[in-house]
């Protein structure tokens, strides 16, 4: 049975994202409104290429928006992945905010094989403050046309080295104007990853 994610004194603070903890070998929940989160512990460095995508994660959660739990620890790699269903047709702009390196990819459809990196923070050292959207020009995607009701595979990666850690993905939807996102991508437009 799933339990609400809580860690007491371990320093985990999910902020607005509420997480549901599940054993790493369980299949994702079938209902929408959540996205799959995986974490691999004890991996040094800050480059997202160090993430062991094909290894079983040490932790698997379901998150209610595109924001990872923050201040989890040091020397870990994490991935959020699943499906984004566009609420309306038009051009969307996405941002990523992370510490340390991170990247955001979006597929042209529901298939992970068709994903393309659309925003990122990389380098050594390179990070942003919590929900800091404008430190690097690469944090912001170009406008991307999506079709209402279609599902698109989405993936956000984080490689944490030392000190603070966080990752959030925000957006502007069609018709919205601004130099920062209006919100973190909410769970009502997300579904968990299925093999």
* Domains and their CATH numbers in the chain: 3-192 (2.60.120)
Q: What is the pLDDT of residue 19?
A: 43
CA distance 150 to 23: 30
Say how far residue 187 (Cα) sits from the centre of its chain.
12
Helix, strand, coil percentages for the chain (3-state, nearest 5)? 10, 45, 50
Average pLDDT over residues 6-13: 34
Higher per-residue confidence, 162 vs 83: 83
Q: List Cβ neighbours of 18 (8 Å cut-off, separation of 6 or more).
A: 4, 5, 63, 64
Task: Indicate whether 18 pLDDT > 70.
Answer: no
Q: What is the pLDDT of residue 162?
A: 82
Q: In what order do the strands lie in the sheet with 144-146?
A: 144-146, 90-99, 166-172, 183-184
Average pLDDT over residues 77-93: 96
- Closest C-alpha among 66, 76, 89 to residue 155: 66
pLDDT band for 26, please (50, 70, 90 cuts). Answer: very low
């Amino acid at each position: 049975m799933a339990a609400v994610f809580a860690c007491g004194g371990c320093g985990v603070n999910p902020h607005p994202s509420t997480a549901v903890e599940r054993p790493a070998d369980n299949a994702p929940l079938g209902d929408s409104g959540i996205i799959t989160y995986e974490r691999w512990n004890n991996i040094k460095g800050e480059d997202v290429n160090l993430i062991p995508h094909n290894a079983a994660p040490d932790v698997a959660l379901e998150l209610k928006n595109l924001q990872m739990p923050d201040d989890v620890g040091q020397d870990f790699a994490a991935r959020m992945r699943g499906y984004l269903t566009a609420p309306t047709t038009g051009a969307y702009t996405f941002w990523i905010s992370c510490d340390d390196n991170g990247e955001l990819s979006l597929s042209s459809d529901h298939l992970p094989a068709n994903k393309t990196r659309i925003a990122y923070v990389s380098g050594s050292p390179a990070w942003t403050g919590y929900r800091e959207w404008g430190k690097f020009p690469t944090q912001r995607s170009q406008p991307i046309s999506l079709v209402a009701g279609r599902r698109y595979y989405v993936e956000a990666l984080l490689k944490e080295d030392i000190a603070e850690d966080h990752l959030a993905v925000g957006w502007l939807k069609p018709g919205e104007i601004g130099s920062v996102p209006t919100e973190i991508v909410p769970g009502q437009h997300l579904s968990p990853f299925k093999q």
